[in-house]
Amino acid sequence: MFSNRRVPTASVILNANQRLRDFGQFRIPTHAQGRGRVEYPVLLQEDILEYFENNPEASTRKAARRFGVSQWTVWNLLHKEGLHPYHIRDIQELRANDYEPRVNFCRWFLQNTDKNILFTDEATFTKLGVFNVHNEHWWNHSNPYVTRQDAYQHRFSVNVWAGVLNNCLLGPLLPT
């Protein structure tokens, strides 16, 4: 029926099998084609590192666009220099009149630690949309434990809450 079709040789089948085992695909990825790594000029590398020194919260994608290189190049350079992306923690801005309620809560919590523990999470929706803090990083040699204060109580937002207590899902709950 298909007498004119080319039949692959044994070496073609064996090589395809090996590429599939090595790379997870039949084609050889560009990074493994033996072209070697592109070495970028030292001045460009220094400019990228200086950019992250002055803007440690910058994204690798924006830096790649700014300097005309791939995001992979920026990421590798940062790692080669010992920099790591640390997550920024959002914390509630504290005011002077918050002290007493916080102390009262801590005392209550310490007295009730033997009771059931409730694990919760929430998503915040604002008029500006949903903000994903998991994509925010601070590039540094060691963890600077960066936090950002924000006046969450003074802007419009809606929280959707859910929790787990004794293997039972609670919620999701919306404010009424």
Residue 100 sits in the same domain as residue 162: yes
- Global confidence as pTM: 0.45
Model pLDDT for residues 126-167, shown as the tens digit of each residue: 776 665 566 677 888 888 787 777 665 666 777 788 888 777
Asked if residue 116 belongs to a domain, the reply is yes
Asked if residue 22 belongs to a domain, the reply is yes
Asked if residue 48 belongs to a domain, the reply is no
The number of distinct structural domains making up the chain is 2
Q: Do β-strands 137-140 and 84-87 pair in parallel, antiparallel, or remain unpaired? A: antiparallel
Model pLDDT for residues 19-74, shown as the tens digit of each residue: 777 777 777 776 666 655 667 889 999 999 999 999 998 999 999 999 999 999 99
Residue 93 sits in the same domain as residue 30: no
Please give the share of the chain, as a percent, with pLDDT higher than 90.
24
Residue range of the domain that includes 20: 9-36
Asked if residue 134 belongs to a domain, the reply is yes
Residue 99 sits in the same domain as residue 31: no
d(CA 36, CA 55): 31
The two tokens of residue 39 are 């070495």
